[in-house]
Structure 1
Amino acid sequence: MVNNKAILTTSDWVKGISRHGELIIGFIDSMSMVQEAVNVTVVKSDNEELIGKTIPMSAKQVESVPTGQTKDTEQLEFLIDLALSTGDEAWFIELTAELNLRKQMVN
């Protein structure tokens, strides 16, 4: 799905403003091409009640968040926990491989 800034796909990290004016950061859980809508699982928000919930948003309400290429060990451990909590096995495997490689390079 294309919004005005980038091509969006499932599992992309996005940020945006909800219909009620709340800042959200999360990842795309699912999409509807017909309705030009995305369901975003909220990881951070200025409304703490939204954290952990999946909310519908227009693709025009969100923009892709660039992912950093270098992550420190603490960031990788946090992301591994997030991958486990969301049931994203492929991402979990990718992150644990990156963490193991980082640990091997230190030793």
Structure 2
Amino acid sequence: MMNQLHQQSLYQKGDWVKGKSVHDELIHGYVESVNNYLGTIKIFVLECDNPETVGKTIETFQNRIAQLEEPDFEKDESYLLNLIEVSLITKDKEWFMELSDQLNQLRNESEEVIPC
């Protein structure tokens, strides 16, 4: 019985997920932490049908969540801009710098491709 409580989670910090909160809100965001003992997961919410939940960390049950493929940051400027905003909200300077570099590279590449 004890082994069942401590099963390994399918989720890891940083995974992109979607699903429902304990209040049945549709959510989309990334994993901040996993509690295998309780079977819960903390998610930083980027999109939600309840606007008050966006930008907050919520905890829900792992069985209410599905993992998403990690987006391709380097090809989508608007997505990078959204992530930069999240990095500012969370005051994650290292992530902000990394995302800013990716955005600058993307913009430089798109300037080189413009036909004359």
TM-score by length of 2: 0.73
> Alignment partner of 1:104: what SS?
helix
The structure-2 alpha-carbon separation of the partners of 1:103 and 1:53, relative to structure 1 and needing over 3 Å to count, comes to closer
Q: How does 1:14-93 map to 2 (within 5 A)?
A: 14-69=17-72, 70-93=74-97
Moved over 4 A (4+): none
* Displacement of 1:20: 2.4
Counterpart AA for 1:45: C
CA deviation after TM superposition for structure 1 residue 94, in Å:
2.5
In structure 1, the partner of 2:98 is 94
Deviation at 1:103, TM superposition (A): 2.7
In the alignment, structure 1 segments of 5+ residues that lack a partner are none
The alpha-carbon distance between structure 1 residues 95 and 51, as it changes in their structure 2 partners (threshold 3 A), is same
Superposed CA deviations along residues 8-55 of structure 1, whole A, max 9, x for unmatched, are: 111222111122221111221222122221111222111222222221
SS, match of residue 28 in structure 2: strand
Which structure's CA Rg is the greater one? 2
| CA RMSD between the two structures | 2.0
Q: Distance in 2 between matches of 1:44 and 1:67?
A: 15
Distance between the aligned counterparts of 2:49 and 2:60, measured in 1?
A: 16
Deviations 1:40-86 (A, max 9, x none): 12221112222222211111111112122243323222211211212
